[in-house]
Amino acid sequence: MAARLSLGIRSRSESAVRRTLWLLAMASSVVLLLGCDADEPEALLAEDICAAIDAEPSDELAFEEYEQSIARERRNGVDEDLLREAVESRCGRVVAAISETTEPAELAERSESESEPVDLREVVWAEQQWQTDCTDSGDPTPVGLAPASDEGRYWHNPSPNDASDAAMTYTVDLNSVVYGDVTGDGYDDAVFGSDCFFGNDFDFRIEVWSHDDNGEPKHLDPVLAYTKWDGVVEHFEVDDGRLRVLTSEPAPNEEAPHLNGYAVEVVTAWHFDGNAWQSDELSRTDTTPAPESPPEPSRDEPLSACDQLGFPGGDEEWCAETMEWMAECQREIDSDPAWVHLDGGLYENLETGEITTCDI
């Protein structure tokens, strides 16, 4: 090419210069299609970008396509400088002068705004169209949110005033939002907690908003969805490019965790591979209390004679003599067949008609 462009400049004023230099360079060049090394991703991407630029009907749209393509691939993790060099070395376009009706500053501002994604911290989430399968059909459906009774919680409830006609209720806790790059595109994402409720069934979810290829907010599939049988989401945060989630799960063989509690604490780290969420388990702790040891057998002191007779604190000598007399009396009655049991502690002698007791 006639000149090497430096297209990595970021300021709006320099962006206009960059556009002018690009147009001059493109006007002074012809299409060059060089062999690509299949092992160089920038080279392969450059061919696609060249084809897209060449397909545009005007210089203005060609330049915008170029900048948008560079911005898109930068968000996907491609090295911007290498990609710009690959594009410059592989294709050019014979273009006319800039239209007199289009101001360079306007083009620069448009290009700059299109190259940077929306700052998700500036989005009014309560007014955003959300997408959820928490619907009667179970299919992913765009829904709007309305304020719920709890502050910060917004829901989609088809029948908010009719308990007899309860429907799937989708609720998002906007106060739960945390920001950070968990998709690896170099820009902060927005992470929320939500839940889906129907009758006695409910689940807890973690949901992420990122960016589409044009830098606009994009609602991704939920990171996870826990039913009441699976566990509950306790906490989540962004740490070192990954989403760390603390959940509580049932103890082994627990059949009713939603009633008895979730005894196992689990920490996982999640990342987005471009198509789906992937997780690594960092820790798992069972907080079930250890079973209590059986009580040691009591070592009671033998009862005293007075305690056995029902006279605690009495004269132990008298009590001992009385117990000895009672025992001897019982032995005599048991050894003489003339004595028969009459009633309670009474015995009757069938020969003499005598009635006696060995009790006191």
Residue whose C-alpha is closest to residue 89's, from 41, 129, 31, 130: 31
Residue 296 domain flag: no
Is 329 part of any domain? yes
Domain check: are 154 and 267 in the same one? yes
pTM of structure: 0.53
Residues 90 and 193 in one domain: no
Structure-token pair, residue 36: 């690509």
Together in a domain, 210 and 187: yes
Burial of 172 (0-12, 13-18, 19+ CB in 10 A): buried
| Spatial separation of the C-alpha atoms in residues 234 and 278, rounded to whole Å | 19
Of 115, 145, 170, which closes a domain? 115
**164 lies in the same domain as 273:** yes
For 110-141, write each residue's pLDDT tens digit. 455 456 899 999 999 999 999 998 887 888 88
Distance CA 223, CA 225 (A): 7
Rounded to 5 degrees, φ, ψ at 275 are -125, -35
Number of neighbours of residue 282 by Cβ within 10 angstroms: 13
Domain that holds residue 330: 305-357
278 and 130 fall within a common domain: yes
Q: What is the DSSP string of 207-264?
A: EEEEE-TTS-EEEPPPSEEEETTT-EEEEEEEETTEEEEEEEEPPTT-S-HHHH---E
Last residue in a domain, options 92, 115, 138 = 115
For the chain, what is the domain count?
3
Full pLDDT tens readout for the chain, 360 residues: 333 222 232 334 444 545 555 554 444 443 333 444 445 788 888 888 888 888 878 777 777 788 888 878 887 778 888 888 888 887 755 333 333 334 455 545 545 545 689 999 999 999 999 999 888 788 888 999 999 888 888 888 866 555 444 567 899 999 999 999 999 888 999 999 999 987 777 889 999 999 998 899 999 999 998 888 899 899 999 999 999 999 999 988 888 887 888 899 999 999 998 889 999 999 999 988 887 777 766 666 778 888 888 888 888 898 889 889 888 988 998 898 888 888 888 888 888 888 888 887
